[in-house]
């Protein structure tokens, strides 16, 4: 009679535990899915990815400006061109993000346990505002002079001016190129991971309609019942 | 449940999707989006560029508006300027703004101390070399009792204020203030102003040479990035406001959400700027804190939308979702 096979030992490594927890929460096929529910078929969905794309352009153009220093764009044509790209990508970022937020509001995209998805998105918008403001007051031109001397009163009135001085270029530049972008990127990452975890919010009255559809039905256009990563909660 | 009940406590019957999935290439879509936004940003940059109006300097201000500069400097010395009476975080000369029992400006204290008489006038004047008359005037001023300093300051400031008011009202300015257009020198006929005329002439000369710009920036160390002092001094004068008015940047013109030229500026601050255009904020001495508190509450509400009864039920009641998921509903109807 042969002995029972030894039980596989659970590794005690912290690293393994973190990895296993990460993979369990968000397996690779869910993180990078190759299928989306068929209801994800509207132009409004473009504005989420457009927000991230704008952020990529902002960070890239901002990094180029940071590489050359804050004065570069004032005295070179190339620098001014990159500053223009940076400025317009910020305008695009806010525009697409606002459309994205309105779209998500009218979808009530917090339904089905997605409250944190909404909260991270809303906080991202609110943190993006001072990120842009610190950029405007770091420009070293008349706009920076005027905006900083105006903005100080609001911030001083609630005590924020005591530790966040908009007329201190050095402090504002640090906030603009490092601290606040780090916060925005962190929030966007959390937001996207939450979207991947919970999936895109289904339409209203989904329960009745989903049941009416045969789960295994496959369409001629290639849509399937559950592709890799498609099983979303 | 009643209609009101529906609105206040919407039922969340959202279930996991058990229907079909369409093929989707996430990485491809993201790459295309980055490409499109990059092209759009480049196109806007090429066609519209970006604003870059040169900053003002104290030297420019003193050369272009010598009387305005002298009037502002006299107020800094007398402690009657906007910065001198601002309160925290710059000094203890005011309580700052408050809303009901909330005094956060006062509670956070003075973190960037500024004594306008010393920092903006007396200390910079002390850096002027080889001017015995000026050195004597400074000594005389500093040795005088506070009451005398105040009397000198008021005697000197009065004709300057009358001059500025006359200019604003487009009237003939009083002759007590003279401006030599060729040299830009300002003379103020003020009896009982003590050493102040000598000090102000010295400060105007220092400002025109560009020395005051550097003097206000340099304090404890060689490398400086803090422009608080020169900016606050300039904000007490008329040059920044005059330029801002020409560019539609004043508070009553939707303020700092605009930008020089016809550029969009920060339109996302529209709601913040809006409150300053309406009562009771518009005329309130505590407008800043009131607007900030309103925006704080609204921001919190924005974050908490999923939890706010009524607001979180509106999307279900106003069927914009039918437009968004038009294809889905059409497909579902045809399958049923």
> pLDDT tens digits for B73-131?
999 999 999 999 999 999 999 989 999 999 999 999 999 999 999 999 999 999 999 99
Residues in chain A closer than 8 A to B88 (CB atoms): 156, 162
Does residue A70 belong to the interface with chain B, where contact is any CB pair within 8 Å?
A: no
Q: Which of B29, B40, B96 lies nearest to residue A157, judging by beta carbons? A: B96
Tokens of A126: 């609110």
**Cβ A88–B44 below 8 Å, yes or no?**
yes
Tokens of A90: 């910020």
Query: Comparing C-alpha atoms, which of B65, B179, B161 is closest to residue B153?
Result: B161
Whole-angstrom distance, CA of residue A193 vs CA of residue A30: 10
Q: Which of B25, B33, B335 lies nearest to residue A53, judging by beta carbons? A: B33
Q: Which residue has the tokens 């509670």?
A: B107
Cβ atoms of B110 and B89 within 8 Å: the answer is: yes
Q: Which of B89, B320, B325 lies nearest to residue A162, judging by beta carbons? A: B89
Backbone angles phi, psi at B179, to 5 degrees: -125, 120
Residues in chain A closer than 8 A to B333 (CB atoms): none
**Cβ A42–B324 below 8 Å, yes or no?**
yes
Termini Cα distance of chain A: 46
pLDDT digits (tens, 9 = 90+) for B248-297: 888 777 776 888 988 999 999 999 999 998 999 999 999 999 999 999 99
Angstroms from B197 CA to nearest CA on chain A: 29
pTM for this model (two decimals): 0.90
CA torsion sign for B276, B280, B282, B287 is negative
Whole-angstrom distance, CA of residue B70 vs CA of residue B208: 11
Cβ atoms of B95 and B106 within 8 Å: the answer is: yes
**Cβ A106–B321 below 8 Å, yes or no?**
yes
Cβ atoms of B99 and B290 within 8 Å: the answer is: yes
Angstroms from A147 CA to nearest CA on chain B: 5
Whole-angstrom distance, CA of residue B66 vs CA of residue B68: 5
A&B contacts, CB < 8 Å: 319
The percent of residues in chain B predicted with pLDDT above 70, rounded, is 96
Q: Where are the domains of chain A?
A: 41-104, 108-199
Termini Cα distance of chain B: 28
Interface of B with A in 256-285 (CB under 8 A): 256, 259-260, 263-264, 266-269, 272
What length is written for chain B? 336
Angstroms from B117 CA to nearest CA on chain A: 20
Q: Residue A201 carries which DSSP code?
A: P
From the centroid of its chain, how far is CA A33?
Answer: 18
Interface of B with A in 123-142 (CB under 8 A): none
Tokens of B303: 């974050």
- Please report how the helices B146-168 and B66-78 are oriented relative to each other, as an axis angle in degrees rounded to 10: 150
Residues in chain A closer than 8 A to B49 (CB atoms): 80, 84
Per-residue pLDDT of chain A (233 residues; tens, 9 = 90+): 556 676 666 667 899 999 999 999 999 988 999 999 999 989 999 999 999 999 999 999 999 999 999 999 999 999 999 999 999 999 999 999 999 999 999 999 999 999 999 999 999 999 999 999 999 999 999 999 999 999 999 999 999 999 999 999 999 999 999 999 999 999 999 999 999 999 999 998 744 544 333 333 444 444 454 544 443 33
Does residue B300 belong to the interface with chain A, where contact is any CB pair within 8 Å?
A: no
Whole-angstrom distance, CA of residue B119 vs CA of residue B83: 11
Whole-angstrom distance, CA of residue B256 vs CA of residue A63: 26
The residue-averaged pLDDT of B216-238 equals 89
**Cβ B227–A162 below 8 Å, yes or no?**
no
Does residue A61 belong to the interface with chain B, where contact is any CB pair within 8 Å?
A: yes
pLDDT digits (tens, 9 = 90+) for B306-332: 999 999 999 999 989 999 999 898 888
- DSSP for A128-174? HHHHHHHHHTTS-SHHHHHHHHHHHHHHHHTTGGGT--TTBHHHHHH
Angstroms from A190 CA to nearest CA on chain B: 15
Sequence-separated (6 or more) residues with CB below 8 Å from residue B213:
B57, B58, B59, B207, B230
Tokens of A6: 């030894």
Exposure string over A16-31, b if 16+ CB within 10 A, otherwise e: eeeeeeeeeebeeebb
Residues in chain A closer than 8 A to B299 (CB atoms): 126
Q: What does the CA dihedral A19, A20, A24, A28 come to, rounded to 10 degrees?
A: 50
What length is written for chain A? 233
């Amino acid at each position: 009679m042969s002995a029972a096979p030894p039980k596989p030992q659970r590794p005690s490594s912290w690293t393994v535990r973190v990895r296993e927890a990460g993979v369990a929460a968000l397996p690779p096929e869910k993180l990078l899915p190759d299928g989306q529910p068929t209801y994800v078929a509207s132009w409004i969905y473009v504005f989420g990815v457009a927000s991230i794309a704008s952020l990529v352009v902002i960070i890239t153009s901002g990094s180029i400006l940071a590489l050359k220093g804050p004065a570069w764009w004032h005295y070179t044509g190339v620098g001014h061109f990159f500053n223009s790209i940076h400025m317009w990508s910020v305008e695009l970022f806010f525009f697409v993000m606002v459309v994205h937020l309105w779209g998500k509001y009218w979808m009530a995209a917090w339904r089905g346990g997605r409250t944190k998805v909404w909260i991270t998105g809303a906080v991202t918008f609110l943190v993006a505002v001072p990120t842009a403001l610190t950029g405007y007051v770091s420009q070293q031109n008349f706009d920076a002079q005027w905006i900083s001397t105006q903005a100080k009163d609001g911030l001083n009135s609630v005590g924020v001016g005591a530790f966040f001085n908009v007329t201190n270029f050095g402090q504002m530049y640090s906030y603009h190129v490092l601290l606040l972008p780090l916060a925005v990127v962190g929030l966007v990452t959390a937001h996207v991971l939450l979207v991947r975890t919970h999936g895109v919010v289904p339409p209203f009255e989904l329960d009745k309609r989903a049941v009416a559809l045969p789960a295994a039905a496959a369409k001629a256009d290639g849509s399937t019942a559950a592709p890799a990563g498609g099983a979303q909660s | 449940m009643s209609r009101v009940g529906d609105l206040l406590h919407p039922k969340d019957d959202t279930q996991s999707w058990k229907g079909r999935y369409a093929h989707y290439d996430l990485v491809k879509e993201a790459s295309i989006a980055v490409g499109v936004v990059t092209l759009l940003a480049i196109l806007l940059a090429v066609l519209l560029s970006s604003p870059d109006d040169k900053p003002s300097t104290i030297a420019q201000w003193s050369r272009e508006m010598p009387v305005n500069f002298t009037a502002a400097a006299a107020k800094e010395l007398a402690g009657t300027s906007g910065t001198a009476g601002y309160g925290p975080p710059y000094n203890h000369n005011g309580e700052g703004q408050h809303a009901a029992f909330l005094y956060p400006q006062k509670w956070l204290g003075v973190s960037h101390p500024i004594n306008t008489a010393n920092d903006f006038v007396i200390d910079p004047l002390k850096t002027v070399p080889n001017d015995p008359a000026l050195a004597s005037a400074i000594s005389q001023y500093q040795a005088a009792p506070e009451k005398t300093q105040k009397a000198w300051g008021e005697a000197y400031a009065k004709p300057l204020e009358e001059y500025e008011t006359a200019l604003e009202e487009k009237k003939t300015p009083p002759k007590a203030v003279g401006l030599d257009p060729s040299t830009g020198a300002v003379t103020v006929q003020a009896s009982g102003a003590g050493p102040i005329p000598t000090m102000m002439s010295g400060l105007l000369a220092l400002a025109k040479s560009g020395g005051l710009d550097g003097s206000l920036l340099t304090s404890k160390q060689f490398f400086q990035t803090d422009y608080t002092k020169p900016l606050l001094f300039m904000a007490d004068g008329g040059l920044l406001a005059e330029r801002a008015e020409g560019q539609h940047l004043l508070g009553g013109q939707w303020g700092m959400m605009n930008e020089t030229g016809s550029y969009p500026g920060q339109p996302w601050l529209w709601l913040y700027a809006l409150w300053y255009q309406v009562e009771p904020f518009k005329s309130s001495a505590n407008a800043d804190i009131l607007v900030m508190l309103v925006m704080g509450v609204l921001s919190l509400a924005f974050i908490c939308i999923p939890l706010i009864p009524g607001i979180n039920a509106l999307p279900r009641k106003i069927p914009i979702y039918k437009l968004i998921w038009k294809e889905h509903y059409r497909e579902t109807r045809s399958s049923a």
